[in-house]
Amino acid sequence: MSAQVPAPAPNASAVPAIVRTQCPGGGAHDVCGFILVPLDRRLPDGRTIRIYFERRSRTDRSRPPVATVLSIEGGPGFSTTADRSARVQLWQPLSARRDLLLVDLRGTGRSDPLDCPAFRRHLVGYVDRAARCAAQLGAARDFYDTSQSVQDLASVLAALHVGRVDLYGDSYGSYAAQAFALRYPHKLRSLVLDSTYQLPGSDPAWADLAASTRSALRLACGRRPGCPAGRTDPVHVVARLAARVRRDPIVGTAPDGDGTPTLVHLDEDALVQVLMSGYYDQAVWRDVLAAAGSARAGDTRPLLRLAAETVTTDGPNGDPRFWSESLYLAVICHDYPELWDPATPVAGRPAEVRARLRAYPAGSFAPFSAAAWTGTDYEGALACLRWPSPARPDPPAPPGAAYPRVPTLVLNGDLDNITPLADATVVAHRFPRSTLVDIQNSGHVTALLDQNDCASVIYRHFVSTLSAGDTSCAARTPEVRVVPAFYRSAGDVPPARAGRRDRSTPLDRRVASAAAQTAADALQRWWVNYDGTSVGLRGGRWSYSGGNLTTFVLRRDSFVPGVAVSGTVRWVYTTGRVRANLVVRGGGVLEHLRMRWSLQVRAATADIDGRANGRPLHAHMLAP
C-alpha cells in the first residue's frame, strides 16, 4: 500500500451551516447545535454525519473576547458534553472574556455515536466482539479516526466564526489536541495537554504502562509511613501474588463499589486489570499491598473486594451517548501502533505478536508475565488483534508536520499508569515552548475536578498569562493513604497516641484507631460508588448524600472484625476537611468519639476526642 497524504477537507472556504438546538441550562447568548460534515472528506457529496457542539458565552460582553476555550474529552469514546459540569467549573474563573466551546468528537455523545450490536449485551470475549463490531461497522469504521475528528473541530470553529482558541484536551483529548495543533497551528493561542501521550502512540505492548505501574507502587509506598511492604520492593510483593494466582486463582464473593455481592475469579488476567485501574482509582495503590499480605495469611476478602470494584465483568457497553466502545476501537485500531505489521493478515498476527514479545528485555512487563499484561480480556494491548487494518492511511497528523511554537502546558500525575509521566515528557520535548508540570501523587487527568487546587490553578494562570507561574503546589499534593494492614481484630490495631488529658486504655485507643480507619475506608469507596449506598468490608452499611459537602451515614460499618461504627462523617470535597461523630462498639468498649483530619495535607494528623466506657479519650494518629 503506497503512502498518501490525507485529503484536505473539501472546499475549505465553505462555512458549514448550523442547525441550532436548545442549550442545556444555557444563557441568552449561548449557542448549541449541529453541523453536517462528510463522513469521508474525499467525498464531499457523499454521506454526512452530525457533529454536536455547545458554546457557553463569556460573562463580560462589553469588551471583545480574548479567545475561546475549546475543551475536548478523552477515551477515545467519551462524550465531551456529558462532562460539561467539570469543564464549566474549570472555565468559570476565565469566563469574563472567553467563551467555552465543547464539542463531541465524531462517533461520541450527540455526534451520531457509534453503537455496535456486538457490545450491547456483553463485554467478555472482547477480541472476538471487536472483530464482530468491525464487521458491523463495515468500511465506515476507517473514517472514525483522529485526523477526521480534528478536521471536524476546524469545521465547527469555522461555522461559529471563532478565532484563536485556548485548547484544553485531557487523556485521548490531549492526543487529538496535538493532532489539531500540528494541522491548525494558526488557530491556537495556547495549548494545554492534561495526561497525555505521544503521536501516533506509545509502546504497542504497553511496556511503558507496566513501567509506570511499577513506579506508582514504589512511589505510593515510599511516601507513606507504615507501608506494609516494609523493606521489600512493593513490586516484588505484587509479583509474588501474581505468581500465586497464576498457579491457583483465588475465587470468592465480595462487594463491588455499590455493595453488590460479586463472584470474583482472581487469576493473573484479573490481577492485571486491578493494577491497571490505578490510574483512576487510588484504592489500588492504597489497598493492594496490605490485601496481598492478608491473602498470604488466608484472608482473601480485601483482595477480592478490590477486584470486584475494578475488574470488568460481563455486561453491556452501556449508553453509547456517554461512552462508545465501538468508537474507542475504531480510533485505536486505526491510529495506534500495534504488535503486528498492518499488512499482516489477521490469521498471521498471533505468531507475529509472540515473536515481538519475545524481543522485549526481561522484566519489561513485571510484575506480570508478558502474556498476562498484553492479553487482558477487556481493552488490552491485543484489542485490535482481529480488527482489519485501515484500507487507506490517514495518520493523526499530516506527515512531516512541524510541532508549532505555541505556548504549551503539559500536566501529568506521577501515579498515572495509563498516560505515564515518561510519555508526557516525550510530548513536552516535542513542543518548543512547552512547560511540563509533574503533579505528585496524582493519577489520570489533573485539572478537572481538582480537589487540591493545584493543577487547575496552574491551568488558569497559564491560559491567562501564557506562563505556568508558581508550580510549587505540584510537590505538596497529599500522599496516598496506603493501608498498613487489614487487621483481624481490635487487638491487632496499633493504638492511637494518647494526648495529655487522655485517661483511656490502650484497647480504647485501638478501637478508636479502628473506627477512624473504618470512616476512611468508606470515604475511599466513594470514588467507585454510583448509587449512594454500600457495605463495609466486614459488615454493616454506609450511605452518603450531598455535593461539595458530602455526609456519610455509617450503620454498624465494620472495617475491623468486631468493631462496629455508626454515626456521621462529613467531608468537604474542595478543602479535604473531614469531621466525624461516631458511636463505636468493639472489644467490650463503647465509645462516643469526635474526629477531625484533612485529606489534602501531607502526613496529616487525625485528632480523636470523646469517651470510652466513661473514660476521657484524647488521642492522635496518622490520618487514615
Instruction: Enumerate domains of the chain plus CATH numbers.
Output: 56-200+393-475 (3.40.50.1820), 207-310 (no CATH), 490-622 (no CATH)
pLDDT at position 27, please? Answer: 84
Instruction: Give CA–CA dist 521/561, Å, rounded.
Output: 14
pLDDT at position 297, please? Answer: 96
Looking at this protein, which amino acid is placed at residue 121?
R
pLDDT at position 28, please? Answer: 85
Residue 172 parent element (H or E): helix 172-183
pLDDT at position 458, please? Answer: 98
User: What is the three-class DSSP state of 88?
Assistant: helix
Instruction: Give CA–CA dist 337/332, Å, rounded.
Output: 8
Instruction: Give CA–CA dist 105/321, Å, rounded.
Output: 11
Cell numbers for 188: 491556537
User: What is the residue whose three cell numbers read 494491548?
Assistant: 381
Cell numbers for 591: 465509645
Most distant CA atoms of the chain, gap in Å: 84
Query: What are the 10-residue block averages of pLDDT along the chain, 624 residues in total?
Result: 36 76 89 96 90 96 93 97 96 97 98 95 92 97 98 97 97 98 98 98 97 98 96 98 98 96 96 96 97 98 97 79 96 98 97 97 97 94 97 93 98 98 98 98 97 96 98 97 97 97 97 98 96 97 95 98 98 95 97 97 97 98 98
Instruction: Give CA–CA dist 290/232, Å, rounded.
Output: 13
* Global pTM value: 0.94
pLDDT at position 2, please? Answer: 32
Question: Taking Cα atoms as reference points, which of 603, 143, 142 lies closest to residue 388?
Answer: 142
Instruction: Give CA–CA dist 514/494, Å, rounded.
Output: 9
pLDDT at position 12, please? Answer: 43
Question: Taking Cα atoms as reference points, which of 406, 471, 410, 472 lies closest to residue 445?
Answer: 410
pLDDT at position 142, please? Answer: 97
Within 10 angstroms of residue 492's Cβ, the number of other Cβ atoms is 13
Distances (CA, A) of 597 to 226, 557, 562, 621: 18, 20, 24, 10
Looking at this protein, which amino acid is placed at residue 521?
D
